[in-house]
Structure 1
Amino acid sequence: MKTLFIMRHGQKDTSNLNVDDYDIEVTKKGLEDVKKISKVLKEKNILPDLLVASPAKRTKTTAELVAKELGYSKNIMYNEVLFQAFVNEVIESITYTFDNVDTLMIIGHNPSLTALGVTLAGLKEKILMGEVVKIEFDCNSWTSIDKSNARLIEHIKVD
């Protein structure tokens, strides 16, 4: 069994229109929300074998905070593909994951993350900033993940 956690970055700061999209930061509220959802994940004993994130500033900040809160002590893998990716590119990136990784968490952006949830597990609603979706796959290799063996487990939100 393979487990995928899809997380969208914390709330982004849109107050400065002169900042490049790649360099947009997380707001104070976004950081608080990431801490809250990380606490929920920790209470559920969730600790990924591998954490992969877009290297954009807001996802990098989110990933570092999640890692700290969960006690994830390994290196975070930054994957440029996750920034402005099409859903097929995200799926392809996931399939490159080594099979000794059973639990993978990716932290990225919409619309590709919501499209990933819809495509693989029939997700019915948008993944908002700071939310997490859990999908399990009935297979032993990331190369075998498919909508035919995927099951949406939960959409984790905090107020």
Structure 2
Amino acid sequence: MSVDIPRRVVIFRHAMDDWLDVDDHERPLAERGRKDAPVAGRWLAGAGIAPDLALCSTAVRCRETWKLAVSELPERPRTVYDDRIYEASVGELIAVLNEVSDEVQDLGLIGHNPGMHALADALAGEAEGDLLPRVNRSGFPTSAVAVLTFNGSWQAVEHGIGRLVAFWAPHA
């Protein structure tokens, strides 16, 4: 696959989690999260977004979010659970993206704030309409999805490379 083709990264924050007395990594989804995650999946399907590959944090709330959301997609993409996404900084998330094979055109990235919000903001060199101010005003709530496009190789992903083309959140 040519490295000059358009690519898309779907940045997806996990759904609302439950603040139980368990280790942060093991926190499950709250009832609202179990309702919002499939709605996010339906939004993705309705927008015609079906990643070739999904990279998901190993945290319980991310795995549960993706399981519920992906059940709404026409086809389940290959999913890789990656410890590096949990509590990752923007630089660490970009490093993960830089390792993606150029065979992948559309990538889903399921993780946590503040990393997901910071990554969407960092990659968006430009945006359609008022999308970037909307992302920043919203604070990138649980179940939020930002979609960015860029041309080139995953190895070339860096600050400002993308165009923010969609933003959705269930309660925004």
TM-score normalised over the length of structure 2: 0.85
User: In structure 2, what residue type is equivalent to 1:98?
Assistant: S
Contact (CA 8 Å) 2:94, 2:158: kept in 1 or not?
A: no
Q: Quote the Cα distance in structure 2 between the aligned partners of 1:74 and 1:108.
A: 16
Q: Is 115-124 or 76-85 further displaced after alignment?
A: 115-124
Instruction: Evaluate the alpha carbon distance shift between residue 30 and residue 99 of structure 1 in structure 2; reply closer, same or farther with a 3 A threshold.
Output: same
Residue from 114, 121, 132 that aligns with 2:145: 132
> 1:1-159 to 2 correspondence within 5 Å?
1-14=6-19, 16=20, 18-121=21-124, 123-124=132-133, 125=136, 126-139=139-152, 141-159=153-171
Q: Quote the Cα distance in structure 2 between the aligned partners of 1:74 and 1:136.
A: 19
Q: Quote the Cα distance in structure 1 between the aligned partners of 2:86 and 2:159.
A: 23
Q: Quote the Cα distance in structure 2 between the aligned partners of 1:72 and 1:20.
A: 33
Contact (CA 8 Å) 1:95, 1:143: kept in 2 or not?
A: yes
Q: Quote the Cα distance in structure 1 between the aligned partners of 2:35 and 2:81.
A: 23
Task: Give 1:66 shift.
Answer: 1.7
Task: Give 1:75 shift.
Answer: 3.5
RMSD, aligned α-carbons = 1.4
- Aligned to 2:78, the other structure's residue is in SS state coil
Structure 1, unmatched stretches of 5+, are none
Q: Post-superposition, which runs of at least 4 consecutive aligned residues in structure 1 deviate over 4 A?
A: none
Q: Quote the Cα distance in structure 1 between the aligned partners of 2:170 and 2:156.
A: 32
Task: Give 1:148 shift.
Answer: 4.2
Q: Quote the Cα distance in structure 2 between the aligned partners of 1:118 and 1:52.
A: 19
Task: Give 1:12 shift.
Answer: 0.8
Q: Quote the Cα distance in structure 1 between the aligned partners of 2:10 and 2:89.
A: 18
Q: Quote the Cα distance in structure 2 between the aligned partners of 1:148 and 1:134.
A: 14
TM-score normalised over the length of structure 1: 0.92
